[in-house]
Structure 1
């Protein structure tokens, strides 16, 4: 299939590369020329504009940082809807506000496109390995049409409801992940304060009810104090803003989530925004005087 892929960042570039390796004709656009060149080196085609990327595409994938970026790229004067052909699948895999996803879906449907919101979980490693978890909102028939492509990108692809549902599930995912990372950070600091060797402690914790994907994937880096970004604090701060705003709009109380959102904001204010979200550990250590 001819696929336009817009947004070749830390997640988008390996995802586009996986589609190329699966045999698809991928035309990519990114504001930075270096990322476009990387896609070309991987066998894709670099486009000089959004219009060039989407012209003639059967599927258009967007993987962008935030709601305003998706709004601009899709709905803007020179955006996707202004250039895409009727009947194309529009799959937004960014993490944005559910309300924005619904607005984009309405406008895309009016323009004759088939919109899906399909945010992902699994970080850079999952994007590289093609093992992402993908939560998809939209019409069932469109989800099934997109499934062969989505299964190239992810090991788990689930239709979770109508437009906006994918983003709502992603917000819940980000709430759980942030809360779990914070608790792991607190537990590691607690163990260290009591002189317990953390490596064996994490091993036994991972084998019991406290075990989780977060513990499995993040604890080693936290113990080594290595915070190269797989998913930056800046982005998780943005995502928790979506969670808090969406919860308030629905009249839902999330007391622990609100605290974690503040701790993420504090980490960002302390200059940790470019670090992996597991660097919440540094915030716990600062609060503990360690």
Structure 2
């Protein structure tokens, strides 16, 4: 039985680790919040006392943590993943971080013989629970093939997109599209409501035409009802838009619409809404339109 050391058991990582346990993997999990580790143990996994144990007893190590700084700490720290890894071990980082950080971790792992993949995901909490995530993977082709059995438990779409850092670059593009689409759906809903249109009916017909998209399918009902429980928090999308705008600037690419949406997300975070789902962009459209939130 393959043992997977899974580090980071939050909104995304928790259900992902549970799915691996249900699929027959021996999952040894660790999270800084002990209750999350205990939840995995109750769901069929095992609890690790720390990062070192999760790495030393695993064949494959997976991380799903918040940001670049967390990956650097857990991967490159004094008693972190690389300090406890062995030659030939496979390390898959599924966090959404800077491509530069992913390349730096891979470079640090190379002389140790540790195989590294960056494999960020899209699909949110529902996709993590359902095992239907879209997974974009950067790294060596042979390492990707070795990781496929694990990744295919977690995602319905698993694609090798290039060398180290490529997975994170594609994820940045994904977050750019998602943020822009949510903003446009929010604007459309406020526009429709201003004219007294049956918005439920409008969403159905829009979803069936060229305007159809996954945001309408998955988020519109909650937006119409003003339910903004995360999902995917504004705080996290704010972090991701920082990655997008920074990477675009480094590449000399202009993203005017993306930059505008990044500022709108930053405004929501600044006014204390960082814990809401990113579909709460609707709240800001209402405020800017002088319309009271329902």
Give the alignment's TM-score, normalised by structure 2.
0.98
Provide the residue aligned with 1:84 in structure 2. Answer: 85
- Checking the alignment, whether the CA contact within 8 Å between 1:57 and 1:84 is kept in structure 2 is no
Provide the residue aligned with 1:50 in structure 2. Answer: 51
Provide the residue aligned with 2:164 in structure 1. Answer: 163
Provide the residue aligned with 2:180 in structure 1. Answer: 179
Provide the residue aligned with 1:133 in structure 2. Answer: 134
Provide the residue aligned with 1:121 in structure 2. Answer: 122
Query: 2: distance between equivalents of 1:109 and 1:12?
Result: 26
- Checking the alignment, whether the CA contact within 8 Å between 2:60 and 2:92 is kept in structure 1 is yes
The SS at the match of 1:73 is helix
**Displacement after TM superposition at 1:86 (Å):** 1.5
Per-residue CA deviations over 1:36-79 (Å, capped at 9, x if unaligned) read 10010011111111001111311000000000000000000010
The SS at the match of 1:68 is helix
Between the two proteins, the alignment pairs up a number of residues equal to: 290
Provide the residue aligned with 1:223 in structure 2. Answer: 224
Query: 1: distance between equivalents of 2:217 and 2:3?
Result: 37
Gaps of 5+ in 1: none
Query: 1: distance between equivalents of 2:87 and 2:23?
Result: 25
Query: 2: distance between equivalents of 1:119 and 1:197?
Result: 38
Which 4+ stretches in 1 moved above 6 angstroms?
Answer: none
Provide the residue aligned with 2:65 in structure 1. Answer: 64
- Checking the alignment, whether the CA contact within 8 Å between 2:91 and 2:114 is kept in structure 1 is yes
Query: 2: distance between equivalents of 1:56 and 1:35?
Result: 20
The 5 Å alignment of 1:131-280 reads 131-280=132-281
The SS at the match of 2:283 is helix
Per-residue CA deviations over 1:9-60 (Å, capped at 9, x if unaligned) read 0000100000001101110110011001001001111111100111131100
- Checking the alignment, whether the CA contact within 8 Å between 1:56 and 1:85 is kept in structure 2 is no
**Displacement after TM superposition at 1:276 (Å):** 0.3
Query: 1: distance between equivalents of 2:70 and 2:112?
Result: 19
**Displacement after TM superposition at 1:84 (Å):** 1.4
- Checking the alignment, whether the CA contact within 8 Å between 2:86 and 2:112 is kept in structure 1 is no
- Checking the alignment, whether the CA contact within 8 Å between 2:20 and 2:153 is kept in structure 1 is yes
**Displacement after TM superposition at 1:221 (Å):** 0.2
Query: 2: distance between equivalents of 1:37 and 1:56?
Result: 18
The 5 Å alignment of 1:74-113 reads 74-113=75-114
Gaps of 5+ in 2: none
- Checking the alignment, whether the CA contact within 8 Å between 2:136 and 2:171 is kept in structure 1 is yes
